[in-house]
A = this chain, B = another copy of it.
């Protein structure tokens, strides 16, 4: 062992002890006759002192050569510091060094190893091993470990068994794109990497495992949006002989436990909202309920006048922005430009300022009088001093646009406090959603989700209205998990595949094993999966997941540190029975 103690543990109680420390040179200050070095490791920083009067000449001279990030080992005596630093765990002491060994020199790092670094995203990713030395990244990874340990201990104590499901599985065209792996031993055939262990966990239920979980890597070959990764981690769970309420109970328990253990926050029973209400009130199936600004639907009070824009709209809907009546014309114009950006897509926006004196001044005063506008205020919940913003058009698109505006304003107004945690269950999701491109229904959750028995009859007549036994757990405007009660009989599963446009042959080829399994005594079962990267980031008070992943990939799916993916040689391709098909 290169050390007797780490760099975070020495304090006044160790004074006069001989110790050996090892670590990195964080910084050094040379006063000519005194040299101080901050020695850093995972556990903290300890100050070393080299004193011309008390340190051997040879050691003192070597200390003068130390550069940033040199790896050194020192022996010395713990002494009391003259100027103590109460902000540091080791701030009462320093080490008077008697021996110094340079274990490894370091060239100058491409960015500073400080909490606030001068390195941009690209350079930090290329030298991720240096980035990890920085407290924000190091602490995020340690926090992730802690969350994983708590999740495992909680679920294990609840009788869940962690079962590893295979990574080399079978490609299924449903859902996102699979990553595939050519099989050398089975020429012309491919494994796929799992988008989730869905079918395996259902088979474990058929196998009587009763309560399963796994913290598991999953893979999706999607065009990466910001803050998505091609490989990501899920807390994946499944239970047998349960109803929706049981599953929600267990995982509300888990989420409460994590909030309490990791953040010291006591939660009450999580509120619930139907998908339909979430869309109506927030234009979003994962509403952030840390703040208000609920949608007010204004059709009834805005479509009786001669304002053609509203009259021709399927939906007229507004929000009240607290305290924003004082916005200048310029500020409001900027907001109107913001909603007209292609990413949002509105054609325009109507506003009404609810002044402190009770009067309302709108951009459509030509069409609406004070009495009309008072109704707008009432319906959007606006108080004097608030700004009412109104969008109109196609119902779904308008809601989505107003939701984007609501979130943007909340961010600007500081209403999205990362230290406040507002969990919410969203329930009664639609079973199917219409896909414009393929002109058919897709499973909103996945094809194994069960419809609500009372809606089964609608499958033939109004498939879009069928509700599923499906639920999402939303935290601060992020979907952190979702699940459903599954279909567990062959007939219903076959029917579902039919409605999703599978031929019988396709269903059998891809999921025959599951339908076969259902014949041998499948129990009622259901489950849920949490996105672990996102959960950890939110619990860590961050919006982006990248610093909670040790070695993330960039938006082109590249690991710029190791430079992957990369070419492979022809012999390897031949062995795998494939050829490149790349335009030269």
**CB within 8 Å of B: which residues of A?**
1-3, 6, 22-24, 40-43, 69-71, 73, 103-107, 109, 127-133, 138, 141-142, 144-145, 148-149, 152-153, 156, 161-171, 173, 177-193, 199-200, 203-204, 206-211, 217, 219, 221, 223-224, 230-231, 233, 241-243, 245-246, 488-489, 513, 517-524, 549-551, 553, 556-559, 561-569, 572-583
Q: Which residues of B contact A563 (CB under 8 A)?
A: 170, 513
* Given contacts A167-B219, A170-B562, A170-B564, A520 and B189 within 8 Å (CB-CB): no
* Given contacts A41-B208, A520-B107, A550-B204, A582 and B187 within 8 Å (CB-CB): yes
* Given contacts A191-B565, A513-B561, A106 and B521 within 8 Å (CB-CB): yes
B582→A577 contact, CB < 8 A: yes
A579→B579 contact, CB < 8 A: yes
Q: Which residues of B contact A211 (CB under 8 A)?
A: 42
Question: How many protomers of this protein does the assembly include?
Answer: 2
Q: Which residues of B contact A141 (CB under 8 A)?
A: 161, 163, 209
A207→B243 contact, CB < 8 A: no
What's the nearest-Cβ distance from chain B to residue A83, in Å?
27
A572→B180 contact, CB < 8 A: yes
A149→B156 contact, CB < 8 A: yes
Q: When the two chains form the complex, which single residue of B167, B169, B559 contacts A169, counting CB atoms closer than 8 Å? A: B559
Q: Which residues of B contact A73 (CB under 8 A)?
A: 241
A181→B183 contact, CB < 8 A: no
Residue with the highest number of chain B CB atoms closer than 10 Å, among A185, A553, A573: A185
A521→B138 contact, CB < 8 A: no
* Given contacts A210-B41, A550-B204, A562-B513, A581 and B572 within 8 Å (CB-CB): no
A-B CB contact pairs (8 Å), 25 listed: A1-B246, A2-B243, A71-B522, A104-B522, A129-B520, A131-B207, A144-B164, A145-B162, A149-B156, A152-B152, A165-B550, A166-B553, A167-B217, A168-B230, A170-B566, A178-B572, A179-B191, A180-B182, A180-B572, A182-B182, A183-B557, A190-B565, A192-B568, A513-B562, A578-B579
B106→A163 contact, CB < 8 A: no
Q: When the two chains form the complex, which single residue of B133, B162, B558, B572 contacts A186, counting CB atoms closer than 8 Å? A: B558
Q: A524 vs B2: C-alpha distance in the bound complex, in angstroms?
A: 9
Residue with the highest number of chain B CB atoms closer than 10 Å, among A170, A209, A550, A556: A550
Q: A204 vs B133: C-alpha distance in the bound complex, in angstroms?
A: 9
Q: Which residues of B contact A578 (CB under 8 A)?
A: 182, 578-581
Additional pairs, 4, CB under 8 Å, beyond known A167-B193, A200-B551, A579-B579? A141-B209, A145-B162, A179-B181, A190-B566
Q: Which residues of B contact A170 (CB under 8 A)?
A: 559, 562-566
B164→A181 contact, CB < 8 A: no
Q: Which residues of B contact A149 (CB under 8 A)?
A: 152-153, 156, 162
A128→B203 contact, CB < 8 A: yes
Q: Which residues of B contact A550 (CB under 8 A)?
A: 163-166, 200, 204
Q: A123 vs B153: C-alpha distance in the bound complex, in angstroms?
A: 35
Q: Which residues of B contact A219 (CB under 8 A)?
A: 167-168
B163→A145 contact, CB < 8 A: yes
* Given contacts A181-B180, A183-B565, A191-B565, A130 and B520 within 8 Å (CB-CB): yes
A568→B167 contact, CB < 8 A: no
Return the chain B residue nearest A511 by Cβ: B562
Q: Which residues of B contact A24 (CB under 8 A)?
A: 208, 521, 523
Q: Which residues of B contact A209 (CB under 8 A)?
A: 42, 132, 138, 141
Return the chain B residue nearest A73 by Cβ: B241
What's the nearest-Cβ distance from chain B to residue A57, in Å?
26
Return the chain B residue nearest A157 by Cβ: B149
What's the nearest-Cβ distance from chain B to residue A339, in Å?
32
B163→A2 contact, CB < 8 A: no
What's the nearest-Cβ distance from chain B to residue A242, in Å?
6
Q: When the two chains form the complex, which single residue of B107, B553, B569 contacts A168, counting CB atoms closer than 8 Å? A: B553
Q: Which residues of B contact A242 (CB under 8 A)?
A: 1-2
Return the chain B residue nearest A183 by Cβ: B565
